[in-house]
Amino acid sequence: MTDSQALVKTLDFQLDIQSDNESLLYDATLEARSVYNETIRLAKQGVDWDAIPDRVADDANLVKNTTQRVVAKALGAMENYYEYDDFGKPSHTKDGAYPLRANYEEGYNLSLTDDGDVAFRISAKPYKHVTGVLKGSDANLDILQTALESDEWKIGTAEALFHNDNAELHVNVTNTEQTVRDKQDSRTVVGVDVNEDNVALTALSEDGIEDSLVIDFPEIKFERHRYFTMRKRVQNAGKDSIHDTLEGREERFVRDRLHKVSRHIVEWSRQFEKPCIVFEDLKEMRDSIDYGTRMNRRLHHLPFRALQFYTSYKASFEGIPTAWINPEYTSQRCPMCGHTERANRNKKRFNCWDCGHQDHSDRGASVNIAVKGVKKLDWNVPALNSLPVVRKVRRRASGAVDAPTVTQPTVRGYQADGRMGVSD
């Protein structure tokens, strides 16, 4: 997020389609899949990316705007994709239905009916439209109705898709009035260290460390490995359609968990005075990872950037700014004396060979991230004479938070309802 950036939100709705147009919409999503796969094929062949949209559009049975949006998304996936199969080539192609992506008033339209409903009109194919009304939560419908009646929200791109055989429309809207607080106006920096099975948080103010927390989510690592194993088995058996179904289930599972964890991060950060959430900028580090095929797959497949993105935009709706710092040595540096040595860290245990400080390694990294965030805001770094006891919580599948565990007794705890308390 940049300073004073307008807020963007995605609103999810179910489509109550009139007449027999649902089959038309489904056929259009199959055509979108063909456009996506053809784009990937041409890109792999080395065709100039600037020439691909026109080449694909000539044969696509979709409206031009939708074709352009699907092509752009496919090329974006090629550019940002990190997971590679055993043959060393990105497995980008899709099977089954693929979302139709369109600009407002070009590929789709919305309007208010006399009954107070929101009607939609989606250009599924040239001169063929799908119409009906939107169904969804009262909150999402209220925002969309406000956007249609006022200048506060601006309606943007949308995706029409099928989820569990149900037609949906996901609409992006932007609040042009509400902005994120300037980072320089912050009073607390929350350092966030994202890992394979947890996220560690430390809140640092000019008075020192306010609190720290480690949120465990081992189920993401477990489920990703489980789905990877299943996909390899069905792929070896030649059942590609099942492979794509499993991939979709995995993506939905991980996305759901990341949304819950990111919400927890923002809720925890809100308790501090004027917080600014600080992340590591991991893109260059990920590009340089080369630890062998198996470890590369694990590390490149971790949802670092997704969790950062979800946290960032959720924080923006609370007016909380976010910032990024250079990740160099955040995992190896001792937060107490500043000594840097790779051998200091052994899994989840950090032991400084210089000053003897011991810590949870991920919590220590979050302290270093917070310190770098303080420096980026040009504050004076406070003296870190002592650190609070490590507290850990685990998110259950329901989204609730388990009681905290600590390494020493009688420290402040983080209760399931989000309030500060005491853990004995």
User: Predicted confidence band at 413 (pLDDT cuts at 50, 70, 90)?
Assistant: very low
pLDDT digits over 297-307, tens only?
444 455 677 78
User: Predicted confidence band at 401 (pLDDT cuts at 50, 70, 90)?
Assistant: low
- According to DSSP, residue 377 is labeled T
**Amino acid code (one letter) for 236:** N
How many other CB atoms are there within 10 angstroms of residue 374's CB atom? 23
pLDDT exceeds cutoff 60 at 370? yes
Q: Do 282 and 307 touch, CB atoms closer than 8 A? A: no
- Residue 303's pLDDT is 66
Cα(first)–Cα(last) distance of the chain, in Å? Answer: 39
What are the b/e assignments for 130-152, b being 16+ CB within 10 Å?
Answer: bebbbebeeebbebbbebeeeee
- Residue 322's pLDDT is 93
User: Predicted confidence band at 200 (pLDDT cuts at 50, 70, 90)?
Assistant: very high
- Residue 152's pLDDT is 73
**Is 157 or 95 the better-scoring residue by pLDDT?**
157
Could you tell me the two tokens for 329?
């040595």
pLDDT exceeds cutoff 80 at 350? yes
CA atoms of 327 and 313, how far apart (whole Å): 21
Q: Give residues with Cβ within 8 angstroms of 259, minimum separation 6.
A: 310
Could you tell me the two tokens for 332?
């190896």
User: Predicted confidence band at 119 (pLDDT cuts at 50, 70, 90)?
Assistant: very high
pLDDT exceeds cutoff 70 at 258? yes
pLDDT digits over 141-151, tens only?
878 888 898 77
pLDDT digits over 37-56, tens only?
999 889 888 889 899 999 99
Q: Residue 93: what are its φ and ψ, rounded to 5°? A: -60, 150
Q: Give residues with Cβ within 8 angstroms of 307, minimum separation 6.
A: 194, 199, 258, 261, 262
User: Predicted confidence band at 81 (pLDDT cuts at 50, 70, 90)?
Assistant: low
Q: Do 154 and 147 touch, CB atoms closer than 8 A? A: yes
pLDDT exceeds cutoff 60 at 415? no
Strand 405-406 to 391-394 pairing: antiparallel
Is the pTM here over 0.75, yes or no?
no
Could you tell me the two tokens for 383?
């003296």
Could you tell me the two tokens for 318?
């609370």
pLDDT exceeds cutoff 60 at 408? no
Of 418, 411, 371, the C-alpha closest to 391 is 411
Helix 64-80 with 22-44: angle, nearest 10 deg: 50
CA atoms of 64 and 60, how far apart (whole Å): 8
Arithmetic mean of pLDDT over the chain: 80
Could you tell me the two tokens for 43?
């890109």
- Residue 242's pLDDT is 61
pLDDT exceeds cutoff 80 at 342? no
**Is 169 or 139 the better-scoring residue by pLDDT?**
169
pLDDT exceeds cutoff 90 at 308? no
- Residue 129's pLDDT is 92
